[in-house]
Structure 1
């Protein structure tokens, strides 16, 4: 698959704003490990190979175990995730697939057992940001590092 365009070059003012949002999310106080998991799960759901590769590598570089990275797609059946991480992954799936029934009250109440309202707002903004990146990379065929010969 060949790249269609370089979205950073075509809309630098908006991409700069998106990168500022990414920095704000990275610095918002949510655990780095948690953000890696939800970024990876969002990208898996959306089918963004570029972002799955990037976020799995970033998680590993920051000390996440291979086993936890590999099992994110099957988190419901894995005992490797904390209750807070499980709540975040459930929220991630529902928010990413929001057109398939919204976000049920029960899921919201469960999320509030593990996140403050401020944290849940920050998590939801992080998910929205990741969904934007996924849509850009998928729509414009972002070059996957392995396929371009730049990674292994």
Structure 2
């Protein structure tokens, strides 16, 4: 796969609002660990290797154990996730797959039961932002860096 274009080099001023939005997420009340879980799950669904390469190390740095990251794609079948994480991941999947879920009531009810209204807005913005990044990175075929041993 070949990168189609480097959007930061091509349109740096156009990308500034996306960068500012991303920076604002770090100032919200949602923990870094939760933000990274959501970013990884959406990126798994969207098939964004570039974002997975970025957010998996960030998740480990935020204290998420590797064993938990290993089962994130199957979170419904794993006891490793808290009630809040399950509610947020369900909402993440409902929004990421909105064309099939319609942001269903059952996902929202579990989400609303687990988070305050402000947290609901913050988490929804986190999910919305990573989906936008995924679409930019996948659309332009952004390439994540390879280590020498990865290229073998």
TM-score interval, smaller chain: over 0.9
- Residue 59 of structure 2 corresponds to which residue in structure 1? 59
Deviations 1:75-126 (A, max 9, x none): 0000001000000000000000001131122221211111111111111111
TM-score of the pair, normalised by structure 2: 0.93
In 2, distance between residues paired with 1:101 and 1:60? Answer: 30
SS in 2 for 1:99: helix
Q: 5+ residue gaps in structure 1?
A: none
Q: Which of structure 1's runs of 4+ aligned residues deviate more than 6 A?
A: none
Name the structure where helix makes up a greater proportion of residues: 2
- Residue 25 of structure 1 corresponds to which residue in structure 2? 25
- Residue 144 of structure 1 corresponds to which residue in structure 2? 144
- Residue 122 of structure 1 corresponds to which residue in structure 2? 122
SS in 2 for 1:27: coil
Question: Alpha carbon RMSD of aligned pairs, Å?
Answer: 1.7
